[in-house]
Structure 1
Amino acid sequence: MAIITLTTDFGEKDYFAGAVKGAIYNELSDVRIVDISHSVSPFHISEASYIIKNAYRSFPKGSIHIIGIDSELTPENKHLAVKLDDHYFICANNGILSLLASEIRPEKIVEINIHDKIQTNFPVLDVFVKVACHISRGGTLEVIGKNIEQIKHLKQFEPIINSEQNQILGHVIYIDNYGNVITNISRKLFESTGKGRPFKISARRHNFDAIYETYSHAINFEVEKENRKEEDGKKLAVFNSAGYIELAIYKSNPNTVGGAASLFGLEYLDTVTINFE
């Protein structure tokens, strides 16, 4: 049974996500549709890129992933079908696959060219669904598009290392549901650049000189709970499950006391710097 996933900024109020699912079922009765997220911030390319990068690998090879973010067809925003890591991705060529393609070279990229056969002002519903169903039936990418060599990359996904190799300049690329701040600095880059040297992470007025493996590693459970000076509300840096450096506050609630983003005063694309001694 084919698996088609949906990642969009449609939200839950409108009919868009339901209409897309109905159109898929209208073409394929024997298919499984999985919602990855419909709560991506509107037109937020980096959010969608981060979410799909860390979700797709949990699905079986051959899964088809429709990404409906900033998908209106324009001369600067063409539509793509990409085979990468034995998965298929259907999206706009707006940099949304930057995180994936920076680590894994796509096996095939085609620029979708079936638009003259489809009247649409809702490309996810009409164009992306047609392409996904074509692939699920075993159709090749060449039938629905022309081969191209490169996809658009976003500069904000690439940290900068200075010439002295003692500083990484990164940025905030995602803020999660808990208000935790995810940077574009990967564990691999941190370790290859730092080479075990002492360091300081700086984000606005907040500094960190340790990175924990998990959130709970920041807490000394050998001290009785009532005697711990810091637990809930402790600020920390952690290597998150996606392999990026994340700035967080232990068990903080962004709806009450606030999360790391609000309490640290950090927003999307704000600078995070690591200095090595």
Structure 2
Amino acid sequence: MAIITLTTDFGEKDYFVGAVKGAIYNELPDVRIVDISHSVSPFHISEAAYIIKNAYKSFPKGSIHIIGIDSEFTPENKHLAVLLDDHYFICANNGILSLLASEIKPEKIVEINIHEAIETNFPVLDVFVKVACHLARGGTLEVIGKNIKEIKYLKQFEPIINTEKNQIIGLVIYVDNYGNVVTNISRKLFESVGKGRNYIISARMVTFPKIYGAYSDWINFDVEKDQRGEEDGKKLALFNSAGYIELAIYKSNPSTVGSASTLFGLEHRDTITIKFDEK
């Protein structure tokens, strides 16, 4: 049974998500539809890429992923269907694919050319659904588009390494539900540049001298609980489950005590710097 996932910035208030699901079921009553997220910030390409990149790998090979972010069809925003890592992705050529494919090269990319079927200004419903259902039936990419090699590339989301190889400048690419701040600096990049050297992470007025492997790693569980010092509210940097450096507040609550984003004053595309000692 085919699986079609949905990642959009549609939210939950409007009819958009329901209409898309209804159109899919109208064509394929037995398909499985999975909502990855409909709470992506409006038109937030890097946020959507982070979510889908770290979710799709948990799905079976051959799954079909509709990404409804900035999907209006224009001469500068064509539509793509892509085979990547044995998964299919349907999205606009707005740069999101370059973020998804930053580590794995797409096996095939086609520019969708079935737009004579568009009936409204709702391309996710009129185009993406038709492509997804075609693929779910076992159809090929060539039937719905022409092969291309070049896609829009968002280079500004890559970390910058200085010529002396002792500094990485990264960006905030995502703020999660707990207000934790995710950077675009991966563990792989950090280790390849750092080579075991001491370092300091700086973000606005806050610094971090150590990166933990998990949220609770800073706690010494061999010490009595009342002697461990501060627990809730501890600031820390860690490698998160997606393999990126994250700045967090231990057991934060954005609606009460605050979060890393609010307490550190960090938002999307703010700068994070890692300075390594000279050897």
TM-score relative to the length of structure 2: 0.98
Q: Secondary structure at the match of 1:7?
A: strand
Mapped contact 1:49–1:98 kept (Cα < 8 A): no
Q: Does 1:158 align with 2:158?
A: yes
Counterpart residue number, 1:119 = 119
**Cα distance per residue 1:15-63 (max 9 Å; x no partner):** 1001100000000011000000000011111110000000000000000
1:118, distance to aligned residue in structure 2 (A)? 2.6
Q: Distance in 1 between matches of 2:256 and 2:154?
A: 34
1:100, distance to aligned residue in structure 2 (A)? 2.0
Q: Secondary structure at the match of 2:248?
A: strand
1:268, distance to aligned residue in structure 2 (A)? 0.4
Q: Distance in 2 between matches of 1:223 and 1:152?
A: 53
Between 221-230 and 51-60, report the one with greater CA deviation.
221-230
Q: Does 1:14 align with 2:14?
A: yes
Q: Distance in 2 between matches of 1:217 and 1:3?
A: 37
Counterpart residue number, 2:179 = 179
Instruction: Give aligned-pair identity as a percent.
Output: 83
Instruction: Give the unaligned 5+ runs of structure 2.
Output: none
Q: Distance in 2 between matches of 1:94 and 1:232?
A: 40
Mapped contact 1:4–1:65 kept (Cα < 8 A): yes
Counterpart residue number, 1:198 = 198
Q: Distance in 1 between matches of 2:99 and 2:240?
A: 16
Paired residues in the alignment total 277
Mapped contact 2:166–2:193 kept (Cα < 8 A): yes
Counterpart residue number, 1:222 = 222
Q: Secondary structure at the match of 1:218?
A: coil
Q: Secondary structure at the match of 2:212?
A: coil
Counterpart residue number, 2:66 = 66
Counterpart residue number, 1:43 = 43
Root mean square deviation of aligned Cα: 0.8
Alignment of 1:140-151 (within 5 A): 140-151=140-151
Counterpart residue number, 1:264 = 264
Instruction: Give the unaligned 5+ runs of structure 1.
Output: none
Mapped contact 2:117–2:127 kept (Cα < 8 A): no
Q: Distance in 2 between matches of 1:109 and 1:238?
A: 35
Q: Secondary structure at the match of 2:217?
A: helix
Mapped contact 1:98–1:157 kept (Cα < 8 A): no
Mapped contact 2:5–2:36 kept (Cα < 8 A): yes
Deviation above 6 Å: which 4+ runs of structure 1?
A: none
